[in-house]
């Protein structure tokens, strides 16, 4: 027991490991533990629903005894034929014993893996028993949600995902959509069947990319009217927009490199503009707004955060129009972006 609680060994567990703390962690945590045990070829020994025990499935193999070979006390005492048989049996035993040691080592390491990935406030639940199967049984009883609870959690998360994301980086939002949809399909929840998640995802994307969303809605309507053919998996639909999203980001990201090297204000107001930027901690865009170039809706017409009701302002349009005509580095860059 003391060895299992050895602090140094517990710290060997990956710092990036998923920590089991509440019911929302159980599914991913348990799935990882199951695949790890299968990889180590010990799942049948630790499966919380299983009955196979370590000593029954993998008993310690008996080393060949010289007494069984003409009751000899030493190997040289064996006849040539018996010596050959003894050595063959010894080699076989060495293989079986190595396998036996490997299994037991993996078994003990898996028990430590469980201990090291449970939140410290729950360690007391499993500290009294080092058997990994018993530990999984205890943790399952404590953290595995009922089917009703699981579906309710998915429903709440799904409702939150259907709202427009606030973050500029949508990758975590895409990942959450895929995770929830996969789990919802596994649970056979009606809101995740047929084209329901497709329509909800496209509706959520609409404020970010109306054109793309409308195209996908048209294809969805065509599929429903035909009544034949396979529906594109929701994961494929989400990842297709993810790819489009990343194709657009390099353009916006490249604008940021110009913000530090190009003039932002008129030459005779350069020092005043820089002073204002230092005070506010913001950049003055070429359109006159206090935001970064890559966040400008005028310079990035298809900006993912532009809302549907947004309208350009005459003053900003006039500023950009003058700057665009000028034979300056700034003017050339604006023409490159907008032409």
What are the C-alpha distances in Å from 157 to residues 75, 180, 183? 71, 7, 11
pLDDT at 272 over 50: no
Unique residue bearing structure tokens 């050595």: 87
Residue 168: helix, strand or coil by DSSP?
A: coil
The 8-class DSSP code of residue 281 comes to T
Percent of residues, the chain, with pLDDT higher than 90: 43
189 CB burial (10 A radius; 0-12, 13-18, 19+): middle
Assign 317 a pLDDT band (cuts: 50, 70, 90): confident
- The band of 30, judged by pLDDT with boundaries at 50, 70 and 90, is very high
- State the pLDDT confidence band at 101, using cuts at 50, 70 and 90: very high
Across 93-107, 202-216, 279-293, least confident range? 279-293
pLDDT tens across 172-187, in order? 899 999 999 999 999 8
d(CA 101, CA 150): 40
- Write down the pTM of the prediction: 0.55
Instruction: Tally Cβ neighbours within 10 Å of residue 34.
Output: 15
- Number of C-beta neighbours around residue 241 at 10 A: 20
């Amino acid at each position: 027991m003391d060895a299992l609680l050895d602090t140094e060994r517990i710290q060997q567990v990956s710092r990036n490991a998923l920590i089991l703390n509440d019911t929302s962690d159980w599914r991913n945590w348990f799935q990882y533990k199951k695949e790890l045990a299968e990889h180590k070829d010990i799942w049948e020994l630790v499966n919380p629903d299983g009955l196979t025990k370590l000593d029954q499935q993998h008993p310690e193999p008996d080393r060949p005894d010289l007494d069984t070979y003409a009751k000899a006390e030493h190997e040289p005492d064996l006849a040539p034929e018996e010596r050959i048989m003894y050595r063959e049996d010894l080699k076989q035993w060495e293989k079986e014993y190595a396998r036996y040691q490997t299994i037991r080592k993996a078994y003990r390491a898996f028990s430590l893996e469980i201990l090291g990935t449970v939140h410290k406030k729950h360690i007391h639940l499993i500290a009294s028993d080092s058997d990994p199967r018993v530990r999984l049984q205890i943790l399952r009883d404590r953290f595995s949600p009922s089917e009703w609870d699981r579906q309710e959690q998915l429903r709440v998360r799904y409702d939150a995902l259907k709202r427009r994301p606030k973050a500029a980086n949508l990758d975590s939002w895409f990942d959450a959509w895929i995770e929830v949809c996969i789990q919802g399909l596994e649970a056979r929840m009606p809101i995740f069947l047929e084209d329901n998640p497709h329509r909800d995802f496209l509706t959520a994307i609409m404020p970010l990319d109306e054109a793309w969303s409308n195209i996908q809605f048209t294809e969805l309507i065509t599929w429903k009217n035909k009544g034949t053919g396979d529906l594109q998996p929701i994961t494929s639909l989400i990842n297709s927009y993810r790819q489009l999203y990343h194709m657009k980001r390099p353009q916006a990201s490249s604008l940021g490199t110009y913000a530090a090297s190009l003039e932002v204000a008129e030459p005779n107001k350069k020092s005043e503009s820089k002073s204002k930027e230092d005070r506010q901690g913001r950049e003055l865009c070429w359109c006159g707004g206090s935001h970064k170039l890559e966040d400008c809706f005028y310079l990035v017409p298809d900006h993912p955060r532009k809302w549907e009701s947004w309208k350009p302002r005459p003053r900003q349009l006039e500023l950009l129009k003058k700057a665009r005509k000028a034979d300056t580095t700034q003017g050339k860059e604006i023409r490159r972006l907008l032409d």
